[in-house]
Structure formats: C-alpha cells, structure tokens
Structure 1
C-alpha cells in the first residue's frame, strides 16, 4: 500500500461564520485560481482584503451602509404588543420596542404563567 500526500486549496470565509458551505461540505480545488473562480461564481467577494461568503458580505455591507429594512409587522404575545421587521439584505431583525425592553416583559409573562400553572396543581385545578 502506498500513501501519497496531496495539497489542495479550500475557500475559507474571513467573516467569522462557522460553515459557509452549509451541509455540502467544504469544496477542495487543485489550484488557487480554480478556487477563486468557484468562489466568485458562488457569490463570494473580497472586501477590505477579506474573502467573504454571501452571508458575511451582506452583514458587512449592512454594517457599513445601514440595513435595508422591510415593513413593520404588528405582533401580540398574550397581550404584549410589539412590532418586528427584517433586513432585506442580511438576517438582522428589528423590534419596537427594542429587544432589551421587550425581552424582560416577555420573560415576566412566562414567569407569571409558570406560577399560575404551579398554583393550579395537578390537572390544572386550584
């Protein structure tokens, strides 16, 4: 049996994402030129000297130029009203009121519901 070492090229995102290739696995290439051509065809870009997958490029672009917000959608969770919207370019969500104000209200509601369930006892009877 003979073992042989082979060197290949991989495309690594410099944006900090865990797995830019999802479930397909990281592709390997025989030359750097092949890797660069494939990356460009897959929507990758070089931005400020960093190779970025499409998702990270969207995040960096939004950081630099601002989000492209969609319309607000009204929400209500057991009487706690709020609005939410999404950026049309990256995966950022916006909340009104802001999430740091909204989360404590929702957590207090969950805590109150748990207390009421416990007070009702087995079978929901108090």
Structure 2
C-alpha cells in the first residue's frame, strides 16, 4: 500500500517509459508503449491525465471504484486526458512494499504486463 506522498514523484521502467504522479491527482507520462492488441486506444509518447486510488465502495459484490478522496491504496487507476471513455484504462498495482508499480489490465489480474515502474525521484513539493 502507498499513500499520496509516497506515490507522488517520477516512476520509470527499464525501457525508459515514465509516469510523474502529482499530489493534485494529475500525472504526466512519456514513452508509454503498451501492446495495442491488449490495451485499446492508449497513447504513446507524451500524454497526461488524472489518477486515483481504487477503493472498495462497500456495495454488494465488493464493487471497487476510483476515488480522488482516497489518501492511500494498493491499486492506482489512470485515465488519459482527451481519450474516449472506455479507451485505455490502465491499472497500476502496488507491489514490493510500495517500491514497484506494475501494469494490469484489470483489478483481478495483478501485473498482466511485463512493465514495472520503479521510483526515480520523490515529489519535492
């Protein structure tokens, strides 16, 4: 599990893709290259958008949703600005005591892609 302060900052893959999470629930990305056969409509290169932790909404069946008010979580959802609703939903699972984020296609399958993001620098402000 990570909190907002632990998540905020720059994370990168060994291939050079990066995500910069900000405390205001926005992010910037560079160099993302997800297999279009697996994830429809994702941008490559430079993009930005919003993020939030997933939380259990307490509904029957354990429905889970993104909540910008949540201060911590084990799963982070990102949505890209200017993308049609339903295109390119990326889920990042927090693993290794919060030091690694891995890309998942859905909440039931942790780390469905090989990509792993590790922290490069913490948010300074």
TM, length-normalised to structure 1: 0.25
- Higher Rg: 1
**Higher strand proportion:** 2
- Structure that is richer in helix per residue: 1
- Per the normalisation by structure 2, the TM-score is 0.25
